[in-house]
Amino acid sequence: MNNTPSPQVNPDSTVTLHFSLTLADGTPVDGSQDGEPMTFTLGDGTMILAFEEVLIGLSPDDKQQVSLEPRETFGFPSEDNQHWMNKADFDPDMELEEGQLIEFSTPAGDQLPGVVLEITDDKVLVDFNHPLAGHEVIFSVEVLEIK
């Protein structure tokens, strides 16, 4: 009989897992259950800290589900993250619509999503808050492998 204890997730672990992220009302947001499992190293920025903390101490085949408040995950929406932009700065062939999600490039080359809130003759109000800001989320995970 093998009495070797199962490895546990620690702050330096590389973990392979399946996960799902849903809103409190059950609306699916993200996940890997229908596809390939996700592999990442804790602390590499792939997952937010609150999700990583759920994994600490879990072993292969362990499952966990937790409800996380906005302050633990994506924060709360702020009017400071809504910005008026010149309509002329958008591609003239782009048909802008309220509610439209647009990917913007930052000066550092990162991609930042923004949602069009309002359109006037010459300006566009874009919300750069995280789409899940202000929402409670349910994080479910199944640990497959730990290195």
DSSP 5: P
Strand stretches in the chain, DSSP E: 14-23, 28-31, 38-41, 63-68, 82-86, 101-105, 111-119, 123-127, 137-146
Which mean pLDDT values do the consecutive 10-residue runs of the chain (147 residues) have?
Answer: 80 96 95 91 94 96 97 96 96 94 92 95 96 95 97
Contact 109, 121 (CB under 8 A): no
Q: Quick one: CA dihedral 100, 95, 90, 84, positive or negative?
A: negative
What's the mean pLDDT when you consider all of the chain?
94
Q: What is the pLDDT of residue 64?
A: 97
Question: How many C-beta neighbours within 10 Å does residue 31 have?
Answer: 16
Q: What is the pLDDT of residue 2?
A: 61
pTM equals: 0.78
pLDDT digits (tens, 9 = 90+) for 55-91: 999 999 999 999 999 999 999 999 999 999 999 999 9
Domains in the chain: ranges and CATH = 14-74+133-146 (3.10.50.40), 79-127 (2.40.10.330)
Please, which residues have CB within 8 angstroms of residue 144's CB and are 6 or more apart in sequence? 16, 17, 18, 37, 60, 61
- For residue 42, give the amino acid letter: L
DSSP 58: -
